[in-house]
Structure 1
Amino acid sequence: MIIYKQFSFDSAHFLPQVPEGHKCKRLHGHTYHLTVFVTGKVREKEGWVMDYGDLKMAAGPVVDLLDHHLLNEIEGLENPTAEVLSVWIWNKIKPLLPQLSRIELKETPSSGVIYEGV
């Protein structure tokens, strides 16, 4: 079974590696929407895969590191594309949440990344 919890955070960034004149080279911001997926068996006693509160305790502090920050100033996010950011988030959450199976990160309502730790 797969369960999930959604988070959102607001961050600014710029993409230093894109060509001159590209709009994303300039400082701008996004309201990111992150969905964290956990895979596991339903525990017979509790009737759930895991407590959503435990999922929030694992992922919430990582989201807090990003919220209202300039992503380029965070170690490992000097070129914070959605792809780079999704891997960074995965690497922060996975040690705290071994059952993590997927994250989806939306940069805009119509653009985003799905990462499954591959």
Structure 2
Amino acid sequence: MKITQAFTFEAAHRLPRVPETHRCFRMHGHSYRAELALEGPVDPVTGFVIDFFEVEAAFAPLLARLDHHCLNEVEGLENPTAEHIAMWIWQRAKPLLPLLCSVRVYETPQCWAEYQG
């Protein structure tokens, strides 16, 4: 069984490794959506793969480091592309959520990156 929990955060960033003429070179913001997918058996007693409250508690400290921050100033996100944000989340969430099977980060409703470790 696979379950997914979504989180949203607001953050600013700029992409320092694109040409100066690229619009993402300039500081701007996004309303991000991060989806954490977890896969495993359904516990016959609880009926859960994992309680969504456990996922929320595990992700809360990471969310606090992202929400309403300039992502370029977050350690490990000096080049905060959607791809790098997804990997950053994975690397920090996977030890807390062993059933994590993918992280999807949306910059806009039409653009996202998905990382599966």
Partner of 2:66: 66
* Structure 2: tracts of 5 or more residues without a match: none
- Runs (4+) of structure 1 exceeding 6 A deviation are none
- Cα deviation 1:42-72 (Å, max 9, x = unaligned): 0111111111100111112211110000000
Q: Match for residue 51 of structure 1? A: 51
State yes or no: 1:111 paired with 2:104. no
Matched residues, number: 117
Q: For 2:53 and 2:111, locate their aligned partners in 1 and report how far apart those are by CA, in whole Å.
A: 28
> Is there any run of 5+ residues in structure 1 with no aligned partner, and where?
none
Q: Residues of 2 paired with 1:112 and 1:84: CA distance?
A: 11
Q: Aligned-pair RMSD on alpha carbons?
A: 0.7
Distance in structure 1 (CA, Å) of the matches to 2:77 and 2:46? 39
- Aligned-partner Cα distance in 2 for 1:93–1:104: 13
Distance across 2 between alignment mates of 1:47 and 1:97:
18
Q: TM-score, normalised by structure 2?
A: 0.97
Amino acid in the other structure paired with 2:16: P
